[in-house]
């Protein structure tokens, strides 16, 4: 079954107890402003870092902690979780994190609240009641989805992988280290990983923040030198935007050899003695 679902799919399952709809509040949404102003009916809201990261380390929750958080949120191993984000990249980051942490039944709402509203569907301010706590059995992380800095450096030395940089043009060219609308902070060095091809994540999306047709996506990624047999590493600043590329490549275009470098530029741009290109 497709990991990408449309608003009609979500609407048909609005009363299904085996489906959980979750909005992910991103870095500009500390007060859940967008969610409280109007969200997709039935959605609960999570702050991205509080629910997707380990509470002490820059890492993802352990299998046991992931199971505890899911169970407290009313998510069992057989629950279908549907994400969307504000900004949209945070929903994809949640989808990727759940997949990486071993949850198999996870989907993305195409276009988030934007396509939903564009189709004339209502946004609501009422919050659903908390779901009853359930049991969740810890699973194994899917390590093939992720790559760490030492292996990225080794891939550079061997020229064995194609790197895709999902950041804005200003970040890729070395004019900024912060995102386009935020403070220019996050790394000591400006630039990109040497040889990385630029593919801004928003170029994959239309005006409603939904994915462009598959043929257009293939044209965009193919122009950067991708092919299904080549190892691909996607990164951005903190890997949120990179997960949009990961989803498009793996779920919509069928690529199998894709990994996320989740350290991304906030790690690489602060490392001692690694190469940087501008």
pLDDT (tens digit, 9 = 90+) per residue, 20-69? 999 999 999 999 999 999 999 999 999 999 999 999 999 999 999 999 99
Active site residue 101: no
Residues 81-140 pLDDT 10s: 999 999 999 999 999 999 999 999 999 999 999 999 999 999 999 999 999 999 999 999
The band of 1, judged by pLDDT with boundaries at 50, 70 and 90, is low
pLDDT for res 158: 96
Helix axes 240-247, 88-100, angle to 10 degrees: 70
In the chain, where are the structural domains located? 4-142, 146-268
What CATH class does 4-142 carry?
Answer: alpha beta
Residue 278: pLDDT over 80 = yes
pLDDT for 181: 81
Q: Among 45, 70, 101, 236, which one carries the catalytic annotation?
A: 236
Beta-sheet strands, E only, within 203-255: 232-235
Q: Which CATH class is domain 146-268?
A: alpha beta
Question: Quick check: do 4-142 and 146-268 share a fold?
Answer: yes
Strand order in the sheet with 19-25: 4-5, 106-109, 80-86, 19-25, 44-47
From the list 225, 246, 234, 250, the residue with the least C-alpha distance to 193 is 234
Average pLDDT over residues 182-203: 96
């Amino acid at each position: 079954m497709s990991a990408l679902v449309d608003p009609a799919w979500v609407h048909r399952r609005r009363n299904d107890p085996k489906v959980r709809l979750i909005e992910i509040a991103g870095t500009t949404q500390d007060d859940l402003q967008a969610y409280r102003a109007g969200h997709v009916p039935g959605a609960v809201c999570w702050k991205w870092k509080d629910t997707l990261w380990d509470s002490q380390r820059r890492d993802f929750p352990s299998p046991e902690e992931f199971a505890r958080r899911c169970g407290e949120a009313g998510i069992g191993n057989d629950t279908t979780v549907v994400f969307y984000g504000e900004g949209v990249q945070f929903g994809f980051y949640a989808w990727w994190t759940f997949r990486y942490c071993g949850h198999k039944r996870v989907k993305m709402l195409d276009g988030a609240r934007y396509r939903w509203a564009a189709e004339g569907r209502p946004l609501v301010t009422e919050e659903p009641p908390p779901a009853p706590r359930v049991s969740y059995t810890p699973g194994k992380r899917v390590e093939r989805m992720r790559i760490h800095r030492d292996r990225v450096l080794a891939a550079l030395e061997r020229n064995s992988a194609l790197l895709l940089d999902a950041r804005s043009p200003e970040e890729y060219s070395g004019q900024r280290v912060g995102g386009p609308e935020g403070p220019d902070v996050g790394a000591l060095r400006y630039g990109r990983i040497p040889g990385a091809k630029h593919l801004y994540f928003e170029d994959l999306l239309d005006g409603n923040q939904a994915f462009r047709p598959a043929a257009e996506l293939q044209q965009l990624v193919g122009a950067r030198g991708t092919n299904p047999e080549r190892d691909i590493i996607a990164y951005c600043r903190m890997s949120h935007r990179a997960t949009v590329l990961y989803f498009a490549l793996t779920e919509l275009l069928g690529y199998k050899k894709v990994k996320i470098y989740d350290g991304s530029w906030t790690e690489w741009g602060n490392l001692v003695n690694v190469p940087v290109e501008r």
